[in-house]
Amino acid sequence: MTALRLRKKAEDAAAALAALMIRAERAAHSVFQGEHAQRKSGAGEKFWQFREYAPGDRSQDIDWRQSAKADGLYIRQKERQLPQTALFWACSARSMDYASSSRLPAKRDAARVLTLSLAILMTRANERIGMLGAAQTGRSEAALENIGAALLAERDAAELPFLGPHRAQKNATIFLAGDFLGASGEMEACLNNIAAQAGGCVIQILDPAEIELPWSGRVIFEEPEAKIRELAPNVASIREAYKKRIHDHINAIRKISSACGWHYVLHRTDTPVDKTLMKIWLEMRNVRNA
Amino acid sequence: MNFLSNIAFLNPWMLSGLAVLPVLWYLLRVTPPAPRVIILPTARFLAGLVPETQTPSHTPWWILLLRLVIAALTIIAMAGPVYNPAQELQGSGPVRLVMDNGWFSASVWEDQTRAAFEALSQAERERREVFVLTTAPEPGETSPLYEGPMAASQAKSLVKGLKPLPWPADNKAAAQAIHKGSAAQIAISLWLSSGLDEGGMKDLAKALRAQGPLEIIAPGPESLPILLKPAEDSESGALKMAIISPSAMPPGRSIAAHALDAGGRIIDQQTVTLKPGAESSVTFDPPENLRGEIARIRISGTHGAGGTYLLDERYRRKSVGIIGPSPDTNPKPFIEARYFLRRAMEPFANLSEGQAEDVIKRNPSVIILPDAGALAPEALNGMEKWIKEGGLLLRFAGPDMAAAGESAFLLVPVPLRSGGRALDGALAWEKPQKIADFPETSPLYGIALREDIYVRNQLLADPVPDLDKKTWAALEDGTPLITAAPLGKGMLVMVHTTADAAWSDLPLSGAFVDILQRITGLAGMASVRAEPGGALEPTLVMDGFGALQKPDASAQIIQAAEFLSVTPSSRHPPGIYGRGGYELALNLGDRIKSLRTPESLPAGVAQKTYGQQYERDLLPFMLFSALVLLLSDWILMIFLAGGFRLAARIAGVAFCLLLAGASARPAQAEISPQDIKYASGLYLAYVQTGDPALDSLSQRGLENLAAVLKARTSAEPDGVVALNPETDPLIFFPLVYWPVSPSQPDLSNAALSNIQNYLNHGGAILFDSRDGAGAEGAINFTLSRLVGKLNIPSLGPIQKDHVLLRSFYLLEAYPGRLTQGALWVETQSAKGRDGVSSVIVGANDWAGAWAEGDMIRSTMTGATRQQELAFRFGVNAMIYALTGNYKEDQVHVQNILERLGQ
């Protein structure tokens, strides 16, 4: 996937989301508005509270309409809002190159598109964005380009994120996209480490074939990088057992995420990216509102 | 069972291979298909999964069956299966094959060769030596082919090279060839006969019988040969043909005969029912203009040289002009020469009559000039020119010519003496003379003359040295009656007596018709007439199947004098013979009178009929079925390996194709009547902005403009149409007027692509921003909001000499309701538009000016001149949209005129 195509796909996904975003905004006004409510008075757009006028307040802050209703003079205070930082990480393991059919994107491509779409939406919402572990964050087009370049350039086949010396900023939201097919113990250790610093969302990307095992007959399944070869004399007969295993694994990841207070979203590569984006939004909003 | 009992095997021991099949079954059954390898990142989750059911994955039974059938078919094919195996040949010595290959073999040739190959295949199996004898002489030779002994395979290639020859068989020559050949005893002679006896069949049968047993195989009575010939009672020149068939043939068979032109195109077809042993005649009556095209008659189907009859000059209709005084009147019966000529020539020639000039103008093949005195010099000159170019002038003498004397004796073949010769006068010594038989050198040779024809009066020829050579007919006392001489490429023929009954009885006899026909037939053949009795070379000859081809060295020339008695033979194949444009056809049908079947044959000769069923080798069929099954097995394997998704995909594609095919037709049929209306007339169109006042202004403005166009130009608009680019197709309108209004909502992508498509395919849009903006670079935001996304070439202010300002009126300004607005056109037009701007952008609110009623309110300067100019601009814009850069030259007309002036 070339840089241009990746960017275009991400833009398309984000553009298709525009209508959804409007709906989402309507539903949860504050979600991803860019400025995040701090639940105390300060500089911001939203009304926070009326307070009685005290000497030293600026006279232009007096809300005359409110004051007219009651006896005293009232000051209109706005809620304090701060920009947030979103950090991204996309799994670069070899297994991400897998696509069960030529019609479906590889998991790696899905991860890239998802990550960049999220980044685009974040910049539109005036958030700061950056790659997890990278030194710089920003809210400009250059930051987007940095992320795009980082996504395309990744070479080390890392199955799990590694938090470098740069500690994530406070207020940061971390998005981890990958297939997370490794042992759930490693995943737990890694996530606990990161979750100690910031909240975020685990986006598990799986190919439908990995979930459904749609083949039949006599098949040898091969996993080249792990050097695993499994002969299934009759795939149909072991399908149910396999499905149970893979669902157990998915649930394990989900549990690990929620145990850390993180969100979890499963993305199947045969579902449109914008649908998953919407799911991520709703997920984040629910918890925030709760 | 009948089918099975007719199958024999050449190598039956191969069938023992079938015993291997059960072993094959066992081997195939226990070897499951190889597993597929599939890459799956989650393969680690499969580790140690135990299948719930332990069904072993075997090859499906139907695939096993399919493969066993393939194996069985291959084994059976190896065993050499034969359907309807041939009978064994008699005896044990060499085999002799006698192939009839005369012209009559063409119709049964297929049967003959098939029987020959069957016998040769059997001989090959029995490893016998073979002799091959044909009955028709080889081309250019007198004796037929006799080859042997040789191997059967060699004989096969020899027989493959044999063809029926277009001349009769010569059984006696064949018998002689046997005597000359080796005297070895022959185990069996097979005579593959055509069923006809051309004479000498008995002799040949005896000769064959002398060397061993003989078996004659003949066709059934229904496939005996037939012959096409001219009908006995046909009038000369008429296309009446007859088909004769052997009497052994069953009656009632219906046959089609075709008249073909030289290129083989069928001009006429007639159907005839055969009468065995007799002639069944068929007459062709094609349209006059096509009659001359007919080059041959042919019986449909394969009937060889006997079923084809070539036509020569004798059958072509000639155009004949008769020079006479009054062409429109009917001649008086039995008195005028024209009457006799007409009656004689109408059956075989296209006649026309008239003054000399008129007749020459029609350029006929033959002009007849009966008894004329002195001719006008113009007529003489015209006629001489026409003759030198190849015409044939036939003159008759008469009292006028005799009276005119020397002055009438121009354009005659021989010098004439003044004054007639009266043989039957009161004061004459001489008796009326009979006509002598035509000499052999004369083209008239062979015409029968009745005894009672007398010539009573004639013009005499001067005795000049070469008079004999020029004489075609003479009286019994030797005085020339018909003389001829070439002139240029043409010919002069003179009959020294009258064409009516005044001077002779000749016009009353049938010979008169024959003479006229012969002479007419000679038109256009100068050389033969110059030298009668020359040799005729073969120009086209027929092969055994009746097809014409160039002759090879074996076809030899025929002396013209002998032509009528020559029978087609190995030296003279049937065909067209001639020289220098004069052509005669040599046909089998002209020479062969009847068809006979063999009467009696020597004792001990076995007789058979060609079988209906022949030996058929089943090996190719078996191998082919095995191959087909193998392919289907292979396809099945692909499906099984690729799962049924591949099958589903293929089926899906096929279904989509079917659907596309099915839906293509109804989709074509759906054209709305409105579209038809718009496409069949000229309509002015404007874009609805959604502002009712503006829309009605545009409507009225365009209606007025339409009236102006109708009154002043040849463009006649049928009406005004309001368009919504979101829904309406634009392609029907040459120019769309688009008043830009801020109230118009943004356009959808569909509307934009609709507009873009319109502009890309030759449409033009006149945008009117209606704000009078004149300054360069002033941006109309509404316009850019509406159509900013369109792909429009860069625009620039209009030049003074732009075609738009020249297309009808010569305009200096382009005012509308406002006057100061700039006008923008494309600086570089899109490719393929010949420099015609697809977009015109202006600001002068032309519709406001065109809508008359609003003039007083809106025209700022209040002058009707301004309204007139606005209309002129509208006319120019419309003509520009209709004619494009047609008027571009008009821009340069000043320069052109200046240059012309110099």
CB A84 within 8 A of CB A173: yes
CB A52 within 8 A of CB A61: no
Residue among A209, A219, A240 minimizing CB distance to B35 = A219
Q: Decide if A246 touches B, using CB distance below 8 A.
A: yes
CB B838 within 8 A of CB B691: no
CA distance A229 to B836: 69
Q: What angle do CA A85, A88, A91 make, to 5 degrees?
A: 165
Q: Which amino acid is at A242?
A: Y
Q: What's B561's DSSP letter?
A: G
Task: Say how many CB pairs under 8 Å bridge A and B.
Answer: 94
CA distance B763 to B765: 7
What integer pLDDT is reported at residue B2 of this predicted model?
A: 60
What integer pLDDT is reported at residue B534 of this predicted model?
A: 67
**Most A CBs within 10 Å: which of B31, B36, B37, B44, as the mutation test of the A interface?**
B44
Averages of pLDDT over each 10 residues, chain B, 902 residues: 68 83 78 75 79 56 84 87 74 86 86 87 86 88 85 89 88 85 77 83 84 85 82 66 84 86 84 84 78 82 82 75 74 82 82 83 84 82 86 87 79 81 66 84 82 86 85 88 86 89 87 86 56 72 86 83 82 82 79 78 78 73 91 82 65 78 56 83 88 86 88 87 85 88 81 85 84 63 76 80 83 82 76 74 85 52 73 89 76 80 68
Give residue-wise pLDDT tens across range B400-444. 888 777 777 888 888 888 766 666 666 666 778 888 888 877 888
For residue B65, what are the contacts with CB-CB under 8 A and spacing of at least 6?
A: none
CB B761 within 8 A of CB B731: yes
For residue A63, what are the contacts with CB-CB under 8 A and spacing of at least 6?
A: A50, A74, A75, A76
ipTM, two decimals, is 0.73
For residue B703, what are the contacts with CB-CB under 8 A and spacing of at least 6?
A: B720
Q: Decide if A183 touches B, using CB distance below 8 A.
A: no
Q: What's B88's DSSP letter?
A: P
CA distance B33 to B30: 10
Ramachandran sector of residue B522 (left: φ over 0; alpha: ψ -120 to 50; beta: rest): alpha
Residue A101 C-alpha, separation from nearest chain B C-alpha, in angstroms: 11
Per DSSP, the residues of B784-840 read: HHHHTTS----EEEPPTT-GGGTSSS--S---SSSS---EEEESSPPTTSTT--SEE
Q: What's A94's DSSP letter?
A: G
For residue B455, what are the contacts with CB-CB under 8 A and spacing of at least 6?
A: B423, B432, B433, B434, B435, B475, B481, B497, B503, B504, B505, B506
CB B393 within 8 A of CB B387: yes
With a cut of 70, list the residues of chain A below it in pLDDT: 1, 13-46, 79-83, 135, 154-157, 162-171, 285-290
What integer pLDDT is reported at residue A246 of this predicted model?
A: 92
Environment class of B254 (CB within 10 Å of its CB; exposed 0-12, middle 13-18, buried 19+): exposed
What integer pLDDT is reported at residue B647 of this predicted model?
A: 65
- The separation between CA B113 and the C-alpha centre of its own chain, rounded to angstroms, equals 32
What are the two backbone dihedrals, phi and then psi, of residue A271, each rounded to the nearest 5 degrees? -100, 150
**Most B CBs within 10 Å: which of A221, A238, A243, A253, as the mutation test of the B interface?**
A221
Q: Which residue has the tokens 């100690």?
A: A196
Q: Which residues of chain B make contact with A246, given a CB cutoff of 8 A? A: 42, 45
Residue among A222, A237, A249 minimizing CB distance to B45 = A249
Residues in chain B: 902
Interface of B with A in 633-652 (CB under 8 A): 640, 643
Q: Which residue has the tokens 């990278």?
A: A134
Task: Tell me which residue of B63, B199, B216 sits closest to B636, measured CA to CA.
Answer: B63
CA distance B318 to B323: 16
Per DSSP, the residues of B20-66 read: GHHHHHHHHHHSPPPPEEEE-GGGGGGTTPPPSS----PPPHHHHHH
CA distance B718 to B703: 10
CA distance B280 to B466: 49
CA distance A138 to A150: 14
Whether residues A246 and B42 touch (CB distance < 8 A) is answered with yes
A199-206 β-sheet, strand order:
A128-131, A85-90, A172-178, A199-206, A263-268
CA distance B655 to B112: 52
Environment class of A185 (CB within 10 Å of its CB; exposed 0-12, middle 13-18, buried 19+): exposed
CA distance B95 to B310: 40
Task: Tell me which residue of B194, B202, B146 sits closest to B169, measured CA to CA.
Answer: B194
CA distance B41 to A226: 9
Whether residues A234 and B32 touch (CB distance < 8 A) is answered with no
Q: Give 3-state DSSP helix, strand, coil % of chain A, rounded to 5.
A: 45, 25, 30
Q: How do strand A47-52 and strand B457-461 relate by DSSP bridges?
A: unpaired
Per DSSP, the residues of B526-554 read: HHHHHSTT-EEEEEEEE-TTS-EE---TT
Whether residues A229 and B49 touch (CB distance < 8 A) is answered with no
CA distance B55 to B47: 20
CB B613 within 8 A of CB B118: no
**Most A CBs within 10 Å: which of B42, B44, B57, as the mutation test of the A interface?**
B42
Q: How many of the other CB atoms lie within 10 Å of CB of A15?
A: 12
Residue A94: closest C-alpha in chain B: B41
Residue A176 C-alpha, separation from nearest chain B C-alpha, in angstroms: 19
Residue among B39, B43, B57 minimizing CB distance to A218 = B57
Say if residue B149 is preceded by a cis peptide, omega within 30 of 0.
yes
Residue among B38, B42, B57 minimizing CB distance to A233 = B57
Residue among A98, A215, A242 minimizing CB distance to B49 = A242
Question: Half-sphere exposure of A183 toward its Cβ, with a 13 Å CA cutoff?
Answer: 4
CA distance A290 to B560: 124
Residue among A179, A216, A220 minimizing CB distance to B643 = A216
- The separation between CA B554 and the C-alpha centre of its own chain, rounded to angstroms, equals 32
